[in-house]
Amino acid sequence: MKIIRFLSHLINSLLNGKSFFGLVSNFFFNFFPVLLWLILFKNASLIPVNWRPKINIKWLPYADNLCFNPLLLSSYIFYLLIILFFILPFSYFLLKINKNKLLFALLIFSCPLLNLVNYLASINQNFKLDLLSFISYVLLHLIIPILTSIYLYLFQIPGILSCYSWSLGLQNILGLITHLILPSSPPWFIHLNGINSIADYSTLGYAAGLTRIDTSFGNHLTTNGFHKSPIVFGALPSLHSAMAFLTCIFISYFSNSSFLSILSIFYVLLQWFSTIYLDHHWRLDLFVGMCYSIVSFSIIKILNHSIFNYNSNYNSNSNHNLIDYNKSNITNSNLEFSSTDTLFNYNDNDNDNDNFDLELQSFNDDYNHNNSSSSSLTAISNNENLVTIDNHNNNKITKFCSNVFANTQPTDMRPAGLRIFSGTLLESLFT
């Protein structure tokens, strides 16, 4: 019976007030941008050659040299302009990741770090570095986004995983569009054929440094895989860099763990090293990929600011692990949970996906002396973002809009891991 009760509790926690069909449809809706990118990428070779722009293989290596060669004045001008007009505005005004000093430092020193990585990748080649780069460039590139999705689902509030998926899909689609309208040569093509060679769309993809792994293991796995690549001249931006840095942003922005932040930053540096070591990307490709991830994250954050604000308030509450959850009220029509600072009441009397009532009552320091507080709450829908709350201290206007990437407002806004293991010994892992 205990197993049956646990399975029932597990299913209810995963459904989180939705029907099974609603959960499945919500999953495919959130996964749609990544799926769309995969479909577009796999079928990019179907675009007629006469519709595609001419391939200019010279501009990217020249641009990379101008922007990153420390012996040229242009690299310092580029670095200064990037900091003043991109990194500082985006990181401070949009991302607010300057609160995370490690990630902010990675942004500020991205250009010098890329030069350092480029130097380290060029001084030596051996089997250990080949294997490390293969694991990073091929295996971790596929595994880390999946692990990040699982982490965001279990340890962060509902809606964060959706934001990650849409940010990932958005940046990759924008990168794919850039590859199609601005075809650019990867380093291996220049090193094999020379800067004055002529490129055309019949050129097969090349595994470059990964061929050494094939030679070591006596197979042609990566060679055959890259030969089938639908986009050969798509060096800029590097989606390996973009996906790694977007993962780093989400982990650093939402996680309170310094260890995870350091680990995600190390993963970015490892991806930068691997792509250069394997001769697949220029430094400028990696930098632009990073910029695409920042822009994508910023767009999703602006469109769905309520979830980000809610999460910031949730994580900033040092006592949120002391949530008093009333298990007797866990129904689809009434959910009530409270912390030492905030009381949330969620009512869904008619189980209507389009309308929900939300009550937010802020406690102040003299709450213990005065238990009476008058408040009024306006009814809102998923399409309305304004909630007005009047209390005895002052009048507040609070914006609290539902997740624009979900079909319904979740019944329980706690992380999935906390919903599943609440009341067990594992509860502390998710708080």
> In the predicted model, what is the mean pLDDT of residues 189-215?
92
Banded pLDDT at 97 (limits 50, 70, 90): low
Q: What sign does the dihedral 306-309-311-314 (CA atoms) show?
A: negative
CB-neighbour burial class of residue 36 (10 A; exposed 0-12, middle 13-18, buried 19+): middle
Q: What is the mean pLDDT of residues 199-219?
A: 91
Who's near 51: CB < 8 A, 6+ residues apart?
none
In whole angstroms, give the CA distance from residue 209 to residue 1.
56
Averaged pLDDT for residues 13-24 = 69
378 vs 15 pLDDT, higher one: 15
**Range with lowest mean pLDDT among 160-174, 182-196, 316-330:** 316-330
Q: How far apart are CA 101 and CA 333, in angstroms?
A: 43
Calculate mean pLDDT across residues 392-403: 37
Average pLDDT over residues 331-352: 34
Highest mean pLDDT among 164-168, 374-378, 411-415, 423-427: 164-168
Split at pLDDT 50, 70, 90, the class of 314 is low
381 pLDDT more than 60: no
Both structure tokens of 206: 């090349």
Q: Is the pLDDT score of 217 beyond 50?
A: yes
Neighbours of 229 (CB within 10 A): 15
217 Cβ contact partners less than 8 Å away, ≥ 6 residues apart: none
50-54, 158-162, 167-171, 389-393: which has the highest mean pLDDT? 167-171
Three-state SS for 190? helix
| Stretch (H or E) spanning 331 | none
Task: Phi first, then psi: give them for residue 366, nearest 5 degrees.
Answer: -100, 25
Region 277-289: mean pLDDT is: 97
Instruction: Single out the residue of 165, 151, 162 nearest to residue 36, CA to CA.
Output: 165
pLDDT value of position 383:
36
Mode of pairing for the β-strands spanning 334-338 and 342-347:
antiparallel
Q: What is the dihedral of CA 8, 11, 17, 21, to 10 degrees?
A: -130
Half-sphere exposure for 178 (CA within 13 Å, toward CB): 18
Q: Is the pLDDT confidence value at 176 over 90?
A: yes
**Comparison of pLDDT for 30 and 260, the residue scoring more:** 260
Q: DSSP label at 423?
A: T
Q: Which position has the higher pLDDT, 68 or 369?
A: 68
**Average pLDDT value for residue range 117-121:** 95
> Looking at per-residue confidence, does 308 or 412 come out higher?
308
Cα dihedral 157, 158, 162, 165 sign: positive
> Is it the case that residue 270 has pLDDT exceeding 60?
yes
- pLDDT score for 16: 65
- What tokens appear for 156 in the block? 């962060």
DSSP 78-124: HHHHHIIIIIHIIIIIII-GGGSHHHHHHHHTHHHHHHHHHHHHHS-
Contact 147, 164 (CB under 8 A): no
Percent of the chain whose predicted confidence (pLDDT) is above 90: 48
pLDDT band, residue 88 (cuts 50/70/90) = confident
pLDDT of residue 362: 40
Instruction: Report which of 138, 130, 120, 273 is spatially closest to residue 212, judged by C-alpha positions.
Output: 130
Does residue 127 have a pLDDT over 70? yes
Which of the four pLDDT bands, split at 50, 70 and 90, describes residue 1?
low
Q: Is the pLDDT of residue 316 over 80?
A: no
21-42 average pLDDT score: 87
Alpha carbon distances (Å) from 418 to 75, 232, 251, 257, 283: 48, 45, 18, 17, 41
Handedness of CA 40, 42, 46, 47 (dihedral sign): positive
Q: Tell me the percentage of the chain whose pLDDT exceeds 70.
A: 67
Determine the residue type at 269. L
Mean of the per-residue pLDDT values of the chain: 76
Count Cβ atoms below 10 Å from residue 409 Cβ, excluding itself: 20
The residue ranking higher by pLDDT, 281 or 104, is 281
Helices (H) and strands (E) in the chain, counts: 18, 7
Is residue 166 within 8 Å of 30, Cβ to Cβ?
A: yes
pLDDT in tens, 129-156: 999 999 999 999 999 999 999 999 888 8
CA R_g for the chain: 25
Q: Which of the residue ranges 22-36, 69-83, 102-116, 409-423 would you say has the lowest mean pLDDT? A: 409-423
Determine the pLDDT at residue 367: 35
What is the structure's pLDDT at 94?
65
Residue 407 has pLDDT above 60, yes or no: no
- Counting Cα atoms < 13 Å in the Cβ hemisphere of 209 gives 28
Average pLDDT on 357-380 reads 37
